[in-house]
Amino acid sequence: MARYELAGVGMRYSGTPVLSGVSLAVDGGGLTAIAGPNGAGKSTLLGIMANLRGGYSGVCAYDGLNLERWQRRPFARHVAFVPQSLHLEFPFSAEQVVLMGRTPHATGMFETGDDYAHAEAAMRLTDTLQFRHRDFRSLSGGERQRVVLASALAQSAETLLLDEPTTYLDLEHQVSIYRLLRERARAGSLIVTVTHDLNLAARYADRVLILSEGRLVADGAPADALSPERVAEVFRVPARALQTPEGRPWIVYGD
Amino acid sequence: MATEASRRSFHVAIAVCGAFLAVSFAISILAGASSLDFGRALAGESPHYEVLVHFRLPRVLLAMLGGGCLALAGALFQALLRDALATPYTTGVSSGAALGAVIMISLGWSEIAGLPAIWIGAFAGAGAVLALVTAIATEGRRVSSFTLLLAGVALNSICGSLILFLHSFANLSQSFSIARWLMGGIEPVRYGTLAVIASMAGAVCAVVIAQGREWNAVAAGEEWAAARGVNVRRLTVIGFLAGSFLTGLITAFTGPVGFIGLIVPHALRLRLDPDHRLLLPCSFLGGAAFLALCDGFARVIVAPAELPVGVVTALLGGPFFIWLLRSRRKVFWL
């Protein structure tokens, strides 16, 4: 049995279907990218998998147990979620935001040495250690995004769900984050990331899911899922597929 | 060693705020309209002893309890609603208390079951508004903190207009009592009453402070907290009930005393730490010190007359609130 089992998952927001009939199984050891146009249901699907959205139809199970039956705390030790962004009203430091990732492991009111070690390792991986003491709100968009990712990494969960984790990142950090995700996946983690960057998905993902109008229209290896015909049809842009020297697909879109 | 960093800063912060509280206790015990001779009071000489033990000391203790509870409730509502401008009064509980008190004054009742009717009325009013706001914000098993906020604002103005309505029919002495109660003030209470307030407030505060780590996650966002294993629904209900209980309890005895729940947590968050494990207990200590000092100030500034303490906190709090609005705007328009 796969770690994630989804069968006929659907969701409506005040009557309008945003997701319908999504069935899939995802297992550890791979990096899965979810792509699709705006409003295709990507974030909704990820939110359901992260057990943050209720009121959906169908079944979503993790480790053989339906998500409604999971308790929040143990679930958070298995699955970490990285939102698109985080807006804080209060002056928490970057390190405090990262340490929040240790909440599901808390044994008392205060952090242990183990908690600090995990937080520091996560900040090293995301290149955020240098501004650990700065007010989170004073950081740039990309820096904040890396801190949010570090907080999820500090959760030391075997599954990582990410909602557009590289939107605000410069090229160096886009590549280093995708490298990190691929490395984790190779080591056995289950990683699912929503992305708009088809070429990053094609380059680093082992599997690509394409959503269109709430339906899963493609599920397979990047080269198959991201065929130029499908990209043109789903995203409604002219598209061509080139090949990188290593034989990976490179999608050219637009005029 | 980094291991104990948060525990150590917790102890340092508590010690500093505790010292501040001790100093303000000493100052506010000394401050007063009547010329109180401490040497004679401690020697048990009448009337100095009676003034100290039956008037000054219980008043200072009530001010400390009240200030502490209001500041802690303010910090709690700010985390719950993720709004630095939330106060213990945002959810309408104190307007309910005020309405209850005004009803009792208008009815001319002075005692119910041996207790002052105003206390009973205020506490009942706070409870009624709490129940109403909770009912409005509950949809099935969900409690929406945003609806809590809006329902609180709506009930605030409903209670406000009912108070005006009752006030317009009041006779002169009732009218004076109403105006005086609505200004907020600290009156000496019996030690038995103090002990009851202290034990109830202490238990509620301890429950809230023990969940400081979860409050941090909730203050960052409901979804953020849920993804970190926090039972947000449960914590929201606990926080709302605890904050409202503390506010209602204190308001019943002191009337509405504004701005403490706003100033103290905000200043501590900026100067000390936004970590709720520090912020909540330090808000209690800081609020206790602040209200005791304001009450001491209210006793001496126009001696032998006294200002209502609500006037002093609002005069200090109003300008602070404006500064807060200005600096908040700067963040958005920078």
pLDDT 10s digits, A98-131: 999 999 999 888 999 999 999 999 999 999 999 9
Q: What is the DSSP string of B123-145?
A: HHHHHHHHHHHHHHHEETTEE-H
Contact: A96, B274; criterion CB under 8 Å:
yes
Q: Does B231 touch chain A (CB under 8 A)?
A: yes
> Comparing A52-61, B156-165, B204-213, B323-332, which segment has the lowest mean pLDDT?
B323-332
Question: What percentage of chain A carries pLDDT values higher than 90?
Answer: 78
Contact yes or no for B92/B153 (Cβ under 8 A): yes
SS3 string, B298-309, reads HHHCCCCCCCCH
Mean pLDDT of B179-198: 90
pLDDT (0 to 100) of residue B334: 32
The tokens for A11 are 């969701």
Contact: B6, A110; criterion CB under 8 Å:
yes
Q: Does A85 touch chain B (CB under 8 A)?
A: no
Contact: B229, A77; criterion CB under 8 Å:
yes
Phi, psi of A251 (to 5 degrees): -95, 125
CA gap A190, B61 in Å, rounded: 57
CA gap B323, A20 in Å, rounded: 50
Q: Does B222 touch chain A (CB under 8 A)?
A: no
Query: Hey, of A103, A123, A139, A160, which one would you mutate to test binding to chain B, going by the most B CBs within 10 A of its CB?
Result: A103
Contacts of B302 (CB under 8 A, 6+ apart): none
pLDDT (0 to 100) of residue B330: 43
pTM: 0.91
3-class DSSP assignment, residue A66: strand
Query: Hey, of B213, B234, B269, B279, which one would you mutate to test binding to chain A, going by the most A CBs within 10 A of its CB?
Result: B213
The tokens for A13 are 């927001």
> Looking at this predicted complex, what is its ipTM?
0.93
